[in-house]
Amino acid sequence: MSTHCVSIIAKPKTRVTKNPFLVSSPLLFFSNKTKTKTSILRVFSSMSYDKELAAAKKAACLAARLCQKVQKAILQSDVQSKSDKSPVTVADYGSQALVSYALQRELPSELFSLVAEEDSEDLRKDGAQETLERITKLVNVILASDGSDSDFTLSTEDVVKAIDCGKSEGGSQGRHWVLDPIDGTKGFLRGDQYAIALALLDEGKVVLGVLACPNLPLTSISGGSQHSLPGEVGCLFFSVVGGGTYMQPLDSSSAVKVQVSATDNPEEASFFESFEAAHSMHDLSSSIAKKLGVKAPPVRIDSQAKYGALSRGDGVIYLRFPHKGYREKIWDHAAGYIVVAEAGGVVSDAAGNPLDFSKGRYLDLDTGIIVTNQKLMPSLLKAVRESIEEKASSL
């Protein structure tokens, strides 16, 4: 399968001769294979991703605006929020179409690669035309409100093409955007946490990440509440390799630099885990917390909003242990990974291996994902290993 899609953006008459997505690989600077990972990362950190970051932030904010509009309609209808999945379908596809279109508009290029969760297969089926028209109308409403494309309207076919740009397989060569258009769909339906998660891979490395968390309070949720007073929610986290992590309100450009918690005492550490028990083994997390001496109960939140909250020190540990047979997708972690890493945190699998986003659409992991600060990682890894061994021996 091709890793690029045909752009739906009208090209200027003067042909682009140099594709920004086809820059020389930083890794080509190293003919000696013994060069260290530090050397490679130094080259990435010396590169500028300013244009890409600006485009990613704009795309994520547009998608967040669409999702907020749909979620507001869901919460006004109890029937829809309980049984009708069509609203989240509209938001999921609409978010992906908007991000795909906005990135291509902001970064005009002949080649565009996006690894994303959705494709348009279901929208092309008989009976889906009404849903597709709803998505298209909503996307155009959001674009019109943005003001930058007031004289241009996307057709249903444009929207389908934008969605299908997400079929890329990713990999270790070139640049690939990675998107989860709505991470945490169950939280979205409940009116709780969800995120628009967008990252950029360059030669298999995550070099940029943006997390739009429309329902995450601007103040700490360390007390265990993911709710806040009206007007005090909506966070945008963003990171570029070597540049740190920043947070700003979704409706403002006033950003502050954030850091993970420096806590080195496990008894003082709170931990995050998935809200849904189906997404992570809560019993294993509980065993690990007990071994560490963690006293606070877990804070259970949907989506990669956990990564954002942890990056600013709301919690100290994030544990995710999917049930056997589940394969983690790169869009579920890429943006969150760099947001935490650039805030001073450490993200690894259960064996302490760094996450490898260069293998395509899936992450090959040992058991699960653990996140904390550098001080606590050694003791956390020990507790994880012991708990996993005990669980295996009891089966």
Binding site for Mg(2+), residues? 117, 180, 182-183, 332
Annotated catalytic residue, options 3, 89, 136, 185: 185
Helix crossing, 129-146 with 86-106: angle to 10°?
50
Count CB atoms within 10 A of the CB of residue 74: 22
Annotated catalytic residue, options 92, 158, 302, 314: 92
Which phi and psi (to 5°) does residue 285 adopt?
-60, -40
User: In terms of DSSP H, where are the helices of the chain?
Assistant: 37-46, 50-75, 78-83, 86-106, 129-146, 156-164, 185-190, 282-292, 305-311, 334-341, 377-393
Interatomic CA distance for residues 238 and 247, integer angstroms? 7
233-240 vs 245-249, strand pairing mode: antiparallel
Which residues are annotated as part of the binding site? 117, 180, 182-183, 332
Element (H, E) at 196: strand 195-202
Interatomic CA distance for residues 298 and 285, integer angstroms? 9
Concerning whether 185 is annotated as a catalytic residue, the answer is yes
CA angle in degrees (0–180, nearest 5) for 276-364-46:
105
Interatomic CA distance for residues 39 and 87, integer angstroms? 47
Interatomic CA distance for residues 209 and 355, integer angstroms? 15
Q: Which residue has the tokens 């009891």?
A: 394
3-state secondary structure at position 309: helix
Taking alpha carbons only, the member of 84, 96, 183, 188 closest to residue 142 is 96
**Active site members:** 92, 185
